[in-house]
Structure 1
Amino acid sequence: MVFIAVYFFLILVFILGLIRLPLTKIDPTLPQQKFSIIIPFRNEEQNIEALLKSIQNLRYHSENFEILLIDDHSTDGSTNKIKEWLVKLPNLKILNNCRVTNAPKKDAIQVGLKHALFDFIITTDADCILPKNWLHSYNTVLKKEKSLFVAGPISLNTEDNFVQQYQKYDNLSLIGATMGSFGIKRPMMCNA
C-alpha cells in the first residue's frame, strides 16, 4: 500500500512539474548558435534517407551546424546511402565508432564529441525525422533562457496494432516523467 501511495505521489509531482514548464515560442530572428549534431547509427538503411531529407529541410543556415554520423559497424547499405548525400549536405561527416566499452552508442557519442567543431552538442537517433524548426527551437531556448542544457521530446509514428500502440504510450509515460522532472528542477533522465 505504501508503494502505491509513493507511486501516485510521484505521478502528481511530475504532473505539477509539467504544468510548471515554461512555453517557449520559437524565434527564428535570434542570432543563430552553432551546433554539432551527433547521430550514432548501426544498420539504419531503411531510415537514414528520411533523416537526411529532414536535415536538408531544416530552416537553419547550414554553416551554423554540422552533422556527425557515427557508424557503429553497420553491415547493411547505411553508409553507402549516406555517402550519396555528401554532395547535398556539405556539412555532413561520416565517422567510424571506436568501441571501448560495452555501450556502443555512448562510445559513438564520445567519438562525435572528439570531432565536434562547435561547443553546443545535440544528439539524436538515426531513425528520427527532424521538424523544420528543430534547431530554431533549441536556439531560442539557449538564447532566451540562457540554458546550458536543453532536452526535447520525441513523438513516435506508430501503426494501429496493439504492440506499437503500447510502445507509444509507454514511451509517452517516460517522456512525461522526464519533462515533469525538468519542471521541478530535478531532471533524472533523457531519452532519444
Structure 2
Amino acid sequence: MTVSEVINLAIGFAAVVVGVLMFWSLPVPGFTSRPTAGLPFLSIIIPARNEEGRISPLLQSLQEQRFRQFEILVVDDDSSDNTASVAESYGAKVLQNAGAGKSSACWQGAKQAKGSWLLFLDADTRFTSVDGLSNLLHFYQQKGAKGITALQPFHTVERLYEHISIIFNIIVVVGMNLFTILGSQFKTAGSFGPCILCNRDDYFLSGGHKKIEGAIMDDLALGEAFLDQDLPVRCLGGKGIISLRMYPEGVGSLIEGWCKSFAVGSKSTHPVVMLMVILWISGSYTAAGALISSITEWNSVAMMFSGILYILYTIQTAWFARRVGNFRWMIFPFYPILFLFFAGIYLYSFIRVNVFHSVRWKGRKIKV
C-alpha cells in the first residue's frame, strides 16, 4: 500500500473510534410498576396543523394508558382539514389558535390547562405501551419534578424512502451534547421537541412558548429559556415509551422538514461535539473511498483493510441507528448513500438559512 492509502485507512479507523466516543450512550427512563396514585393531574397539550391523518394513533394510545388522570387539549393551528373533528371524536378538547405556529399553539394550550404538570406532544407521536405515560411521569417525579424532561421518540419507519433520515436521526440526538463519553459535562443544546414534560410553575417562570414565539427551533429555544432560569433540562431516548413516524407524506415533506431545522439547530451543538460529528461523517466517506480505490487497483492488502473498515462503519452506523429507530438491517451496507443524502440536505439547508433567509414548512414561509 502507498503512504496515502495507509493514512486514509488510519483516518478511517480513527473516525470509527471517534464515533464510539461521540455516541457513547442514550439512556431512557426506567420502567416501573409503582402505583400512579401519587402522580398529579396532567394536561396533555398537542399542537396540530393539518394532522387529520396522523393524530389518531396518539389519541388512541392515550386512551389505552393505565394512568388516566389527565386532560387532552388539542390546539388546532389553522388547519384546513378535519383535524378538529378527529380530535373531538377521541374526547379531546379542541382549542383554536389565535396566533400562527407551533409555539403560539402551545402557549394557548398552556394558558387554558388545568394540570399542575404539562406534557407537550407532537401530533405524530404515540405511546408504545400502556405504562409509557406513567413511566415518564414517575421518572420526572424521581428527578424532583423540576425543569424539563424531554424524550426523543423512537423513530418507526414503514416505507423504504424513510430510511434516508437515518443519519439525521443520529445527529439530532448526538447534537444535544449529552450523549458523548463525557456525559453531561457539556451544556445541553436545549430540549428535544416532540415530547416535553414540565411543571406548570416552571413553565410560566421561564416565559414558556410565549417567550420563544417565532423561533424556528422552538424545542432548543424552550430549553434555553428554562436554563436561563437555572431550571434543569434532561433529554433522554424514548425507546419503549414513545415513538413517532416522521414525514410519511413522502420525500418532499422529508426534505422540507430536515431543511427547516438542521442548519439552525447545528449552531447549538458544542464545538467539541461538532468536531466529533465532522470527523465521524468524514470517516464514512474515507472508508467508502478506500474500498472503491482498492478494488479499482486490485490491491489485495488494501482491499482487506479497507473491507474491514467498511464493515466496521456498516456495523457502527447500524448500531447507532437502531438506538433511535427500527431501521432495517438490509439498508446499512449501503450506508454511503445515507451520508451523501445527509450532506446534500445539510448544504441545501445552510443555503436556505444563510443566503435566502427563509424555509418552508406545512405551507408556510418562515423567515430566518
Report the TM-score, using the length of structure 1 for normalisation: 0.76
- TM-superposed CA distance for 1:82, in Å, is 1.8
Contact 2:65–2:133 (Cα < 8 Å) also in 1: yes
Does residue 66 in structure 1 map to residue 71 in structure 2?
A: yes
Which amino acid letter does the alignment assign opposite residue 151 of structure 2?
G
Distance 2:174 2:155 in 1: 14
Equivalent of residue 107 in structure 1, options 104, 112, 136: 104
Which amino acid letter does the alignment assign opposite residue 173 of structure 1?
I
Contact 1:40–1:125 (Cα < 8 Å) also in 2: yes
Does residue 15 in structure 1 map to residue 23 in structure 2?
A: yes
Which amino acid letter does the alignment assign opposite residue 156 of structure 1?
H
Equivalent of residue 145 in structure 1, options 137, 143, 146: 143
Contact 1:14–1:177 (Cα < 8 Å) also in 2: no
Equivalent of residue 191 in structure 1, options 190, 193, 197: 193
Distance 1:46 1:111 in 2: 23
- TM-superposed CA distance for 1:123, in Å, is 0.9
Kindly report which structure 2 residues correspond to 1:1-192, keeping only aligned pairs within 5 A, or say none. Answer: 14-16=22-24, 18=25, 21=27, 24-30=30-36, 31-61=38-68, 64-86=69-91, 92-99=92-99, 104-131=101-128, 132-148=130-146, 149-161=148-160, 163-178=161-176, 179-180=178-179, 183-184=183-184, 186-189=187-190, 190-192=192-194
Q: Which ranges of structure 1 fall in alignment gaps of 5 or more residues?
A: 87-91
Distance 1:152 1:158 in 2: 18
Bigger RCO (CA 8 Å, 6+ sep):
1
Change (3 A) 1:10 1:97: farther
Which amino acid letter does the alignment assign opposite residue 156 of structure 2?
N
Which amino acid letter does the alignment assign opposite residue 37 of structure 1?
I
- TM-superposed CA distance for 1:22, in Å, is 7.6
Alignment: residue pair count: 174
Change (3 A) 1:144 1:8: same
Contact 1:36–1:65 (Cα < 8 Å) also in 2: yes
SS at match of 1:184: helix
What per-residue deviation string (whole Å, max 9, x for no partner) do you get for residues 73-108 of structure 1? 11111112222222xxxxx311011216xxx00000
Which amino acid letter does the alignment assign opposite residue 46 of structure 2?
I
Contact 2:40–2:115 (Cα < 8 Å) also in 1: no
Which amino acid letter does the alignment assign opposite residue 191 of structure 1?
G
Contact 1:36–1:122 (Cα < 8 Å) also in 2: yes
SS at match of 2:45: strand
Q: Which ranges of structure 2 fall in alignment gaps of 5 or more residues?
A: 1-10, 195-368
Identify the range of structure 1 (171-180 vs 33-42) with the bigger mean alpha-carbon deviation: 171-180
SS at match of 2:136: helix
- TM-superposed CA distance for 1:36, in Å, is 1.1
- TM-superposed CA distance for 1:127, in Å, is 1.4
Change (3 A) 1:159 1:84: closer
Bigger fraction of residues in helix: 2
Let me know the Cα RMSD of the aligned residues: 2.9
Distance 1:45 1:119 in 2: 29
Distance 2:111 2:71 in 1: 13
- TM-superposed CA distance for 1:147, in Å, is 4.0
Change (3 A) 1:22 1:53: closer
Change (3 A) 1:22 1:55: closer
